[in-house]
Amino acid sequence: MSPLRFPLAVILQRTKLVNRWIDARWEPIEVALDDGASCEPVRLPHDTAGTRWRFGGHSFELHPCEAEGYYLNITASDPKVFIMWRLAEEGVEPGAFPVIVTVSYNEAARMLDGGEQVDAVPMPREVFLQVQSFVAQHYKPEPRRKVRRNDPIPEHEERHRS
């Protein structure tokens, strides 16, 4: 079964800072469904918040093995899209770029554990509905097991004694 793929565009914002060590802060601020028109970064109209860049050509895939991560995300009070991004080399415009887009809590946590820069933006309604449908079809919670704590004789040894 091939994974379901959803094309997205990522909007990154560069905000100027008054700081002796760093001149600007980059952060993802939004994702939108992508029409696939352009994969090149496009500078959006400037406003007082900072300079914004639109990066088309990104997508996320839904895999049954990640269903638990999707479930954890959509059942949260504020579902998110997670964007792993990196800074570009000095002097390159734009100064940052998105690398991976995901809606799995588990995948985002693995990237963070690996030392990557991962930020979250609100999940668009259209994306939420698709992920919700996928989770309903593919996520099966593990059955709860009775746990016996501080038992001097574990259950499997008890069976062998009788």
Task: Write the pLDDT tens digit of every residue in 124-158.
Answer: 999 999 999 999 999 988 887 777 677 666 665 55
Query: How far is it, in rounded angstroms, from Cα 46 to Cα 61?
Result: 32
Residue in the structure block whose two tokens are 């259950």: 155
pLDDT at 55 over 80: yes
H or E element that contains 74: helix 67-74
Place of tokens 């792993």: 84
Sign of CA dihedral 73, 76, 78, 84: negative
- pLDDT band with cut points at 50, 70 and 90 for residue 161: low
Question: How far apart are the C-alpha atoms of 79 and 95, rounded to whole Å?
Answer: 28
Give 3-45 pLDDT, tens digit per residue: 688 899 999 999 988 889 888 899 999 999 887 767 889 999 8
Model pLDDT, residue 155: 60
